[in-house]
Amino acid sequence: MPLLFLLILPAAFAGRFAGVRFGFWAGLAAVVVTLAGEMAAIVVIGNAFGKRREGQSALNERRPEPGGRARPVNVVTVPVRDREAEAVALKSGSITLIPADSVRGLDRPTRNKLIRKLYASLKDAFERQVQIEVQQSVTPGEGASEESELQFIAVRSPDGSRAGFTLGSEGFSFAGHALKAIELWSLAPAKGGGGFSASLYFIDKDALQGSFNEKWSLIGPRLVSFDFDVDYSEEAAAAIAIAVEHIAAMTGAKFEIHEGVDV
């Protein structure tokens, strides 16, 4: 179950309970209040977690060795972005998603598992919502061992009318602006195990008008959510966030990245 649903279920329950007892507006108010409370809790805990993490990183980097020398301890390596190279790749219409040097902390089988999961999830999402054209060759992973280096690439035509993804010798494409928005939830472990969840919107939800129920009746059928098949780490969080940013850039979609802890 996508992590996002863990936020929606309590709000839906509260809204239904209040709506049955006190009417529609009371139910809607209960949904809004519940979601606001959950978001506030995630943000507060996430900020506290981030500050503690930053403080620990600073402490680790400055912790002295015997004799007064400073040494790093448990320093987390996150991707170093070459934004100039990224800009050139995006302008050219082809960029690698989750390159090997962005997730050095993941062994190759784990990285390949993440890539295959993301490719399959994107293909399923687009196939369920819009017409796609598939380049039939081999399925993801077929003909490639766990030790081989997978190349997962986002592409866009020069005029922007088509976009797509390729994995090895397979790929699929779709109308360039089919995806309207993408949201990433990155939750560090706390009481729960943490993880990553994405929501893809094939409708411009920000342009909709009307009541909550009216908007949701339109958004729901045009929304696809999925989890990433990888354990949480700061390095994976950074790499996945960059991949989502690049997917949005290639498809012209809006993107939001929410960080918090799995409480």
Q: How far apart are alpha carbons 28 and 199 in whole angstroms?
A: 22
Q: What local confidence, expressed as pLDDT, does residue 24 receive?
A: 47
Confidence (pLDDT) at 105: 74
β-bridge pairing 254-262 and 181-189:
parallel
- The domain segmentation of the chain, as residue ranges, is 3-62, 83-262
Gap between the Cα atoms of 259 and 65, Å rounded: 34
d(CA 160, CA 175): 9
Within 10 angstroms of residue 51's Cβ, the number of other Cβ atoms is 10
The structure tokens 């939750």 sit at 187
Query: pLDDT value at position 60?
Result: 38
pLDDT at residue 14 in the model? 46
In 3-state terms, what secondary structure has residue 18? helix
| Residue 250 exposed, middle or buried by CB count within 10 Å (0-12, 13-18, 19+) | buried
- pLDDT score of 245: 94
Task: Specify the pLDDT at position 235.
Answer: 85
Which among 160, 198, 203 has a CA at the least distance from the CA of 179?
Answer: 203
**Contact yes or no for 207/82 (Cβ under 8 A):** no
pLDDT value, residue 145: 52
Which pLDDT belongs to residue 135?
Answer: 84
Q: Which pLDDT score, from 0 to 100, does residue 138 have?
A: 47
CB within 8 Å of 229: residues ≥ 6 apart: 113, 114, 117
The pLDDT score that the predictor gives to residue 92 is: 93
Distance CA 194, CA 185 (A): 10
- pLDDT averages per 10-residue partition of the chain, 263 residues: 50 47 47 49 46 41 39 48 87 90 79 92 97 73 59 94 94 96 94 92 94 94 93 89 94 94 86
187 φ, ψ to 5°? Answer: -115, 120
The pLDDT value given to residue 168: 87
Q: Under a CB-based contact definition with an 8 Å cutoff, are residues 149 and 100 in contact? A: yes
